[in-house]
Amino acid sequence: MKKLYVIKIGGNIIDNEAKLAAFIKDFAAVEGLKILVHGGGKLATKLAADLGIEQQMIDGRRITDAATLKIVTMVYAGAINKNVVAQLQANGCNAIGLTGADGNAIKAHKRVSPPTPKGEPGIDYGFVGDVDTVNTGLLQSLLEQNIAVVLAPITHDGNGLLLNTNADTIAQEAAKALSSIYDVELIYSFEKSGVLLDAEDDASVIPSINPTAYSELKETKVIFAGMIPKLDNAFAAINSGVSKVIIGKAEQLQQLIRGEAGTTINP
Amino acid sequence: MKKLYVIKIGGNIIDNEAKLAAFIKDFAAVEGLKILVHGGGKLATKLAADLGIEQQMIDGRRITDAATLKIVTMVYAGAINKNVVAQLQANGCNAIGLTGADGNAIKAHKRVSPPTPKGEPGIDYGFVGDVDTVNTGLLQSLLEQNIAVVLAPITHDGNGLLLNTNADTIAQEAAKALSSIYDVELIYSFEKSGVLLDAEDDASVIPSINPTAYSELKETKVIFAGMIPKLDNAFAAINSGVSKVIIGKAEQLQQLIRGEAGTTINP
Alpha-carbon distance A90 to B31, whole Å? 37
C-alpha distances out from residue B230 to A132, B5, B127, Å? 45, 18, 23
Q: What is the pLDDT of residue B146?
A: 97
Of B179, B189, B154, nearest in space to B33 by CA: B179
Confidence band for A226, pLDDT divided at 50, 70 and 90: confident
pTM of the model: 0.96
What mean pLDDT comes out for the span B166-193? Answer: 95
In this predicted structure, which of A13-17, A56-60, A187-191, B171-175 has the lowest mean pLDDT?
Answer: A56-60
Of B166, B186, B148, B176, nearest in space to B27 by CA: B148
The number of angstroms, rounded, from the C-alpha of A252 to the middle of its chain's C-alpha atoms is: 17
Element holding A10 (H helix, E strand): none
For chain B, give the mean pLDDT: 93
Instruction: Please tell me which of the candidates B74, B81, B161 has its beta carbon nearest to residue A86.
Output: B161
Share of chain A above pLDDT 90, in %: 74
CA distance B247 to chain A (A): 28
- H-type helices in chain A, by residue range? 11-14, 17-29, 43-50, 66-72, 81-90, 136-143, 167-178, 211-219, 228-239, 253-258
Confidence band for A199, pLDDT divided at 50, 70 and 90: confident
For chain A, give the mean pLDDT: 93
Determine how many CB atoms are found less than 10 A away from the CB of residue A66.
9
More confident: A113 or A251: A251
CA distance A40 to chain B (A): 13
Backbone dihedral angles phi then psi of residue A253, each to the nearest 5 degrees: -50, -45
Residues of B with Cβ-Cβ distance to A160 under 8 angstroms: 86-87, 89-90
CA distance A15 to chain B (A): 15
Highest mean pLDDT among A115-124, A222-231, B127-136, B220-229: B127-136
| Cβ distance of B89 and A156 shorter than 8 Å | yes
Beta bridge partners of A186: A6, A245
Is-contact B214 B65, C-beta < 8 A?
A: no
Domains of chain B in start order, with CATH, are: 3-191 (3.40.1160.10)
| Cβ distance of B102 and A96 shorter than 8 Å | yes
Beta bridge partners of B128: B164
Q: Which of A51, A85, A138, A141 to mutate to test the interface with B (most CBs of B within 10 A)?
A: A85
DSSP conformation class of A192 = S
Above 80 in pLDDT, residue A144? yes
Alpha-carbon distance B174 to B176, whole Å? 6
Above 80 in pLDDT, residue A106? yes
Confidence band for B266, pLDDT divided at 50, 70 and 90: confident
Render pLDDT for B119-129 as a digit per residue (tens, 0 to 9).
888 888 999 99
| Cβ distance of A78 and B78 shorter than 8 Å | yes
Is-contact B236 B265, C-beta < 8 A?
A: no
Instruction: Please tell me which of the candidates B76, B82, B94 has its beta carbon nearest to residue A162.
Output: B82
Render pLDDT for A229-246 as a digit per residue (tens, 0 to 9).
888 889 999 999 999 999
Share of chain B above pLDDT 90, in %: 74
Q: What is the pLDDT of residue B226?
A: 73
| Cβ distance of A83 and B50 shorter than 8 Å | no
Amino acid at A122: G
| Cβ distance of A74 and B79 shorter than 8 Å | yes
